[in-house]
């Protein structure tokens, strides 16, 4: 990439935007305390939950089962068996279900909703996601779903933790897919919560393919993917006229190890391209090596962002050639997203990278605590549209997302 010329364009664009660009736009919804269960403690954490990897709490919105350590009503580190979970779901549905015209409770098969929760800030949830979280009979959730989002799940939902991290899978993917199918067979609404968007490095396609082969109806509710949410948070346009006209997403969790494939490296190093690497921390050394080998300059602007859009967020900005050293000095941990490209220099925070080796939540105007998201008035207002002339009926059962 002709880094100097392109960055010159970026600098000019940045100047045109003016000083007002530094002020982050307010979230559409109020935000609660961010960060996944077991987040950082200490001064930086500002009173957040205990050390990462510590005891996970049962979500306030439901009864937790199979979380990393025993929540109230849970069954310990290994979680409940599939038989116990199915039995619990049957008992709950039998206790609260009313007879339906089609027969007894649970006569009709259920559906599975693959629901994206966005990058972490509960204010970035879609209304559709919130509707389904409130109405779900059973919710299967991942490691990266924050406490603030889990608290928005309806109080009667059966919560099942199926989180994964490198080298430690609470339940294998095959068992997760089997659980989804078996829960759906019991009837009701099954929600599979996923960070970001289910169809962008969320294995949503694999789960949908498996369930559809079993005859289970699957619907996907998109979420704001981490690349979009974090870029907006930092004031980085993923594309910008004269600076970047294409974006490439890739993942640091590669099937063939940590070597960036030659074709991926070559395309990612192309001029006027923004590269976003999901879960890129462990692949950072080979990522930098591969990009530089294909001609991307060591002075190309880059960013590494841990737990983006939450109050646990930490950001390292620097040139590509120094990024690995800066990330190591900052001690960033997974999940960390990497952005590489001249658009990174459009961030209003870019010029402060020398004075601020690590941008924490307060440095990016995320230190101002706001009231937690209250789903009741939001859903009442949204579902009240059915009373308006020509409004869509949104009360009762969740409307279909698309024609069958």
Predicted pLDDT at 128: 95
What is the maximum span of the chain, computed from C-alpha positions, in angstroms? Answer: 70
Known catalytic residues are 142, 164, 279
pLDDT at site 120: 92
The reported pLDDT for the residue numbered 1 is: 46
SS3 247: strand
User: d(Cα 98, Cα 84) in Å, to the nearest integer?
Assistant: 23
**Burial zone of 389 (CB within 10 Å; 0-12 exposed, 13-18 middle, 19+ buried):** exposed
Triad 52, 58, 63: Cα angle to 5°: 155
CATH architecture of 55-96+107-224: 3-Layer(aba) Sandwich (3.40)
Question: Which of 304, 309, 226, 310 minimizes the C-alpha distance to 48?
Answer: 310
Distance CA 205, CA 211 (A): 10
Q: What is the per-residue pLDDT for 371?
A: 55
Compute how many other C-beta atoms are within 10 angstroms of the C-beta atom of residue 401: 11
Class of 3-11+227-364 per CATH?
A: alpha beta
Residues 36 and 94: their CA atoms lie apart, in Å, by 33
Q: Do 291 and 266 touch, CB atoms closer than 8 A?
A: no
Rounded Cα gap, residues 284 and 91, in angstroms: 48
Q: What is the DSSP string of 72-85?
A: TT---TT---HHHH
* pLDDT tens-digit profile, the chain (404 residues): 444 444 555 555 544 444 333 333 222 222 333 333 333 433 333 333 322 233 333 444 444 444 433 333 333 234 577 788 888 888 887 777 655 444 444 446 789 999 999 999 999 999 999 999 999 999 999 888 988 899 999 998 999 999 866 555 568 889 999 999 999 998 889 999 999 999 999 999 999 999 999 999 999 999 999 999 999 999 999 999 999 999 999 988 765 555 566 667 777 788 899 999 999 998 899 889 989 988 999 999 999 999 999 989 999 999 999 999 999 999 999 999 999 999 999 999 999 999 999 998 778 765 444 556 788 887 888 777 655 555 544 444 554 444 33
Predicted confidence at residue 75, as pLDDT, reads: 33
Domain with CATH 3.30.950.10 in the chain: 3-11+227-364
Nearest CA to 195 out of 169, 168, 165 is that of: 165
Tell me the C-alpha distance between 270 and 381, whole Å. Answer: 47
The pLDDT, as a whole number, for residue 170 is 65
Torsion of the alpha carbons at 281, 283, 288 and 291, rounded to the nearest 10: -130
For 140-166, what is each residue's pLDDT tens digit? Answer: 998 889 888 999 999 989 999 998 665
Q: What is the dihedral of CA 159, 163, 168, 171, to 10 degrees?
A: 60
Burial label for 363, CB within 10 Å (0-12, 13-18, 19+), is: middle
Task: Write the DSSP string, 145-210.
Answer: -BHHHHTTS-TTEEEEE--EETTEESS-HHHHHHHHHHHHHT-SEEEEEESB-TTSSSSHHHHHHH
- What is the Cα–Cα distance from 235 to 92, expressed in whole angstroms? 46
316 bridge partner residues: 304
> Residue 206 phi/psi, 5° resolution?
-65, -45
């Amino acid at each position: 990439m002709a880094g100097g010329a392109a960055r010159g364009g970026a600098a000019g664009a940045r100047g045109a935007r003016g000083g007002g660009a530094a002020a982050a736009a307010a979230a559409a919804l109020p935000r609660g305390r961010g960060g996944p269960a077991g987040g950082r403690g200490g001064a930086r954490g500002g009173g957040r939950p205990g050390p990462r990897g510590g005891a996970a709490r049962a979500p306030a919105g439901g009864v937790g089962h199979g979380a990393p350590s025993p929540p109230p009503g849970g069954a310990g580190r290994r979680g409940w068996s599939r038989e116990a979970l199915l039995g619990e779901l049957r008992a709950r549905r039998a206790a609260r279900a009313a007879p339906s015209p089609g027969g007894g409770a649970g006569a009709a098969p259920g559906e599975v909703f693959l629901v994206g929760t966005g990058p972490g800030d509960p204010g970035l949830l879609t209304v559709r996601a919130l509707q389904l979280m409130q109405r779900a009979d059973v919710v299967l959730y991942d490691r990266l779903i924050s406490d603030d989002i889990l608290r928005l799940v309806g109080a009667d939902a059966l919560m099942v933790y199926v989180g994964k991290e490198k080298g430690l899978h609470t339940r294998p993917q095959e068992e997760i897919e089997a659980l989804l199918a078996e829960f759906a067979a019991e009837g009701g609404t099954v929600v599979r919560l996923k960070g970001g968007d289910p169809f962008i490095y969320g294995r949503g396609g694999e789960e949908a393919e498996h369930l559809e082969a079993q005859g289970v109806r699957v619907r996907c509710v998109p979420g704001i993917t981490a690349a979009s949410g974090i870029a907006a948070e930092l004031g980085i346009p993923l594309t910008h006229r004269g600076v970047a006209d294409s974006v490439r997403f890739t993942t640091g969790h590669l099937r063939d190890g940590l070597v960036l494939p030659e074709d991926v490296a070559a395309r990612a190093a192309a001029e006027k391209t923004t590269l976003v690497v999901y879960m890129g921390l462990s692949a950072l050394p080979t990522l930098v090596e591969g990009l530089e080998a294909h001609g991307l300059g060591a002075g190309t602007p880059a960013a590494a962002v841990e737990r983006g859009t939450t109050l646990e967020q930490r950001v390292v900005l620097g040139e590509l050639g120094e990024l690995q050293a800066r990330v190591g000095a900052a001690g960033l941990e997974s999940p960390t997203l990497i952005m590489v490209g001249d658009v990174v220099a459009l961030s209003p925070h870019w010029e402060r990278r020398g004075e601020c080796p690590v941008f924490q939540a307060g440095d990016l105007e995320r230190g101002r605590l706001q009231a937690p998201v209250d789903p009741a008035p939001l859903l009442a207002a949204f579902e009240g549209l059915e009373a308006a002339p020509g409004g869509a009926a949104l009360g009762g059962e969740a409307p279909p997302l698309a024609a069958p």
